[in-house]
Chains A and B, each alone.
Chain A
């Protein structure tokens, strides 16, 4: 099956802890993205990566970090510096990145800070 997988589906974290969300794709896409979704708001871009070993900050990157060591994987770390991390996190990928592409989304991870 081709697609994007995110794990875990639900994640609970204590305040002050870092936590890493997994995103894997087997679509051979170059570009990958992380979005955050809060109730009553549209999706907001956290980070994106157009190629391996390169990534760019989105609109709300503060308190988050990413890595892109492999084409298939784009993990997101929510650090203790993120003041309000409880949200639904969506990962996406696209064939090449940029304006021309359609983005394909994973099933999401719901993070709750206790």
Chain B
């Protein structure tokens, strides 16, 4: 069964810092991997989706990378802002599966 792990569980950084969030997964037969943002008490917003054939995706200050063979993905946030404070979740889609497998999330706090 696919296990998805995110480390650290929580992270606090001062405003302006660049930071990296980590996601690892046990089954490399993934179709794609998504990074989501969740604000407290809210639903999920999709940030980036990387297909298994891709190495990275970029959107604004966000860059997600994927190393399928080692079962790892990273989400890089450049020049962090207080508005980036949220929980970040990664989720993988397996070939032939009908649901996403989620990590437990990293709760990010950006201190002004």
Which chain A residues have a beta carbon within 8 Å of chain B's beta carbons?
4, 6, 31, 33, 35, 40-45, 48, 50, 56, 58-59, 88, 90, 92, 97-108, 110
Contacts and interface: CB of A to CB of B under 8 A. Distances in A.
Contacts of B100: 43, 45, 103
Interface of B: 4, 9, 31-32, 34, 36, 41-46, 49, 89, 91, 93-105
A42 B43 contact: no
6 contacts: A43-B100, A48-B98, A99-B93, A104-B46, A105-B36, A105-B45
Contacts of A59: 99
A90 B93 contact: no
A56 B103 contact: no
A110 B43 contact: no
